[in-house]
Amino acid sequence: MAEKVVIIGSGPAGWAAAIYTSRASLDPLVIEGAFNEENRQKGTLPLGQLALTTEVENYPGFPSGDMTAYLDGSIDKPRRQYMAPHEKQGVSGPELMELMRQQAANFGTRIKTDDVSAVDLSSHPFQLKTLGGEEIEALSVIIATGARANYLGLESEDRFKNMGVSACAVCDGALPRFRDKPLVVIGGGDSAMEEATYLAKFGSPVYIVHRRSEFRASKIMAQRALANEKIQVKWNSSIDEVLGTDEAGVTGVRLRSTTDTEQTEELECSGYFAAIGHTPNTDFLAGQVEVNEKGYVRWTVAARTNTSVDGVFAAGDVADDNYRQAITAAGTGCMAALDAERWLAAKGFE
Ligand code: NDP
């Protein structure tokens, strides 16, 4: 029998959609992604981008405080044992995601730990295939597969992720390790300007490392960054290597000039922020859902989560290249759940 709602993805958008659709008695199935090396390398493991961050201080409802007892009591023991010991205050990204997952499970959401590898959205019910070889029919689908930050692809970037390497200043910038320390942002677009300006509240100096001699960023954002006395630009420079140790994490970067490739320079810093764009996780859709000019799933109705395929909805970063916050992803996840519920009712699939 066809599933009423299949939710693909397990970040804040996916779990918010699951909580709402399960409470609406739609018996949702979440395909949360597979734990495999390819997903680890790409930054697309289950639980989304938040699972790759440390402390979360900007998600409403999770003020700082000792959450140990609450987490111990609310997360299944077998999953809890893989979470880092909670010696700090507040909630971490992985913890917040486990809490959302558990909240969805508490309302009866069924969860499959697998990737959707292919879809056929050309006829109804929709057909989904998983990496594990399952074939699933769905009356409605919520795409919530998120986006992944682009990194340069250096081994040293990978080594120091969560130890000074980040792709989200808003998520990580206020952490103690970055306070009053030199920081590096790589990129020359609006994201790099925004990240550098944001980071300048905490660290100093903030170096923007850009491979050309002019920014791609909009004038206003570039001017704001350039006018900030804590921000310095390293023009015509690329990152050769992120430097650091296992104990200290990032301690610096080695730059290489893009105009004279013999020329290198080492910069001391405690943070390295990649701001060279994001890539939405849409490969499995194989072009069956319309995307915008940047490759993000296009919402086709104003203030709704409908896509170009009737009965297929999208939520979170896979369709949002603008806000890209956990709270906005959760918000659109809730919207997609309500949109799917109303769509199913209107079609008489109750
Ligand atoms: P962009 O694609 O606009 O910019 C990416 C930057 O990274 C470019 O400067 C590019 O260099 C550089 N880059 C890409 N690949 C590499 C590489 N391998 N090595 C070194 N540098 C690299 O992405 P953004 O994330 O900045 O912006 C995405 C979209 O989101 C844009 O439309 C932007 O306007 C929007 N946005 C808007 C904001 C706002 O208005 N508040 C804030 C943030 C983003 P090069 O220029 O040489 O190609």
- CA of 40 relative to ligand 1 center, distance in Å: 24
Are 164 and 44 members of one domain?
no
Of 253, 274, 295, at which residue does a domain stop?
Answer: 274
Tally the domains of the chain.
Answer: 2
- Looking at every residue in the chain, the average pLDDT score rounds to 94
Are 139 and 186 members of one domain?
no
Q: Are 207 and 182 in contact (CB under 8 A)?
A: yes
The 8-class DSSP code of residue 316 comes to G
Q: What is the pLDDT of residue 74?
A: 84
Are 144 and 218 members of one domain?
no
pLDDT, one tens digit per residue, over 122-166 is: 999 999 999 999 999 999 999 999 999 899 999 999 999 889 999
Dist CA 307 CA 290 (whole Å): 7
Where does ligand 1 bind, in terms of residues with CB under 6 Å? 152, 187-192, 194, 211-212, 216, 238, 275-277, 321
What CATH number did the domain enclosing 67 receive?
3.50.50.60
Owning domain of residue 39: 3-149+278-346
Whose Cα sits closest to atom 35 in ligand 1? 190
Dist CA 47 CA 96 (whole Å): 9
Of 249, 274, 299, at which residue does a domain stop?
Answer: 274
The pLDDT-based confidence of 72 (bands split at 50, 70, 90) is confident
Are 48 and 142 members of one domain?
yes
Pocket-testing residue among 190, 198, 220, 233, ligand 1, by greatest number of atoms within 8 A of Cβ: 190
Are 73 and 179 members of one domain?
no
Dist CA 242 CA 273 (whole Å): 11
User: Residue range 196-218: average pLDDT?
Assistant: 96
Is the pLDDT confidence value at 86 over 60? Answer: no
For residue 188, give the ligand 1 atom closest to its CA.
9
Task: Report the side by side order of strands in the sheet with 183-186.
Answer: 165-166, 271-274, 183-186, 206-209, 231-234
Q: What is the pLDDT of residue 85?
A: 61
Pocket-testing residue among 276, 317, 323, ligand 1, by greatest number of atoms within 8 A of Cβ: 276
Are 224 and 114 members of one domain?
no
- CA of 276 relative to ligand 1 center, distance in Å: 5
- pLDDT greater at residue 84 or residue 316: 316
Are 288 and 270 members of one domain?
no
Of 274, 296, 314, at which residue does a domain stop?
Answer: 274
Are 254 and 312 members of one domain?
no
3-state SS assignment for residue 337: helix
Whose Cα sits closest to atom 43 in ligand 1? 191
The pLDDT-based confidence of 65 (bands split at 50, 70, 90) is confident
Q: Which residues are catalytic?
A: 168, 171-172
- Look up the pTM and report it: 0.82
Name the nearest CA neighbour of 183 among 156, 165, 157, 159: 165
Are 232 and 269 members of one domain?
yes
Are 32 and 136 members of one domain?
yes
Q: What is the pLDDT of residue 295?
A: 96
- CA of 229 relative to ligand 1 center, distance in Å: 22
- CA of 215 relative to ligand 1 center, distance in Å: 9
Whose Cα sits closest to atom 40 in ligand 1? 190
Are 178 and 257 members of one domain?
yes
Are 209 and 81 members of one domain?
no
pLDDT, one tens digit per residue, over 221-255 is: 999 999 999 999 999 999 999 999 999 999 999 99
